[in-house]
């Protein structure tokens, strides 16, 4: 039996939770977004924790809606296409998508062909034309010299006659 006001407020708070705390949790739930460096597991745990503060008996379908609203845009399309029906399936799909995207991203950053192309392919075109130019210069010089020597010889021959 409750005999004091403090016992009564304690019992009500214990039975129904703090209304203010629920309101704050609900506001957080409405606006919470997955941050750039936050993994999907961390985000999931946070949303589920806040859902329990708002309503310990919240249906899974409503939790799923809150989860979907706040995930990163890079994950949203992939997850929506797979249409998860429960929070557990949501977590499974998002983990798989997150892992795949991080693997793809790190492969693009460290692709070995980029190194090979830069190191091997670029020098060849740069050196070959230079070598060709050199040999063309020498050929042109030789031709120019021969042409002028012949002309000089002819002029000298005519002058001496």
Provide the pLDDT for residue 17.
Answer: 62
Q: State whether 119 and 41 are in the same domain.
A: no
**Does any domain span residue 119?**
yes
Q: State whether 133 and 95 are in the same domain.
A: no
Provide the pLDDT for residue 111.
Answer: 52
Phi-psi region of 59 (alpha: psi -120 to 50; beta: other; left: phi over 0): beta
d(CA 143, CA 149): 10
d(CA 52, CA 59): 10
Q: What angle do CA 51, 54, 58 make, to 5 degrees?
A: 60
Q: State whether 62 and 118 are in the same domain.
A: no
Cβ atoms of 86 and 59 within 8 Å: the answer is no
Q: State whether 86 and 132 are in the same domain.
A: no
Q: State whether 134 and 100 are in the same domain.
A: no
Provide the pLDDT for residue 9.
Answer: 75
Q: State whether 86 and 151 are in the same domain.
A: no
Locate all alpha helices (DSSP H) within 71-122, ordered by sequence. Answer: 73-82, 87-109, 112-116
Provide the pLDDT for residue 48.
Answer: 97
pLDDT tens, residue order, the chain (161 aa)? 888 887 877 777 777 666 788 888 889 999 999 999 999 999 999 999 999 989 989 999 999 999 999 999 999 999 999 999 999 999 999 999 999 988 887 766 555 554 444 444 444 555 555 555 555 555 555 555 555 455 445 544 444 55
Task: List the domain range (segments joined by +) for residue 55.
Answer: 11-110
Provide the pLDDT for residue 59.
Answer: 97
**Does any domain span residue 81?**
yes
Q: State whether 70 and 50 are in the same domain.
A: yes
Provide the pLDDT for residue 133.
Answer: 52
């Amino acid at each position: 039996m409750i005999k004091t006001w403090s016992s009564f407020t304690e019992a009500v708070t214990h039975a129904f939770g703090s209304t203010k705390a629920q309101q704050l949790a609900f506001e957080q739930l409405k606006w919470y977004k997955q941050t750039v460096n936050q993994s999907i597991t961390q985000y999931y745990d946070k949303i589920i924790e806040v859902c329990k503060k708002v309503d310990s008996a919240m249906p899974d379908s409503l939790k799923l809606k809150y989860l979907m609203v706040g995930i990163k845009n890079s994950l949203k399309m992939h997850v929506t296409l797979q249409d998860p029906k429960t929070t557990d399936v949501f977590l499974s799909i998002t983990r798989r998508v997150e892992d795949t995207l991080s693997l793809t991203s790190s492969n693009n950053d460290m692709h070995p062909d980029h190194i090979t192309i830069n190191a091997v392919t670029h020098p060849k075109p740069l050196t070959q034309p230079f070598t060709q130019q050199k040999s063309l210069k020498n050929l042109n010089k030789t031709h120019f010299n021969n042409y002028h020597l012949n002309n000089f010889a002819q002029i000298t021959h005519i002058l001496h006659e």
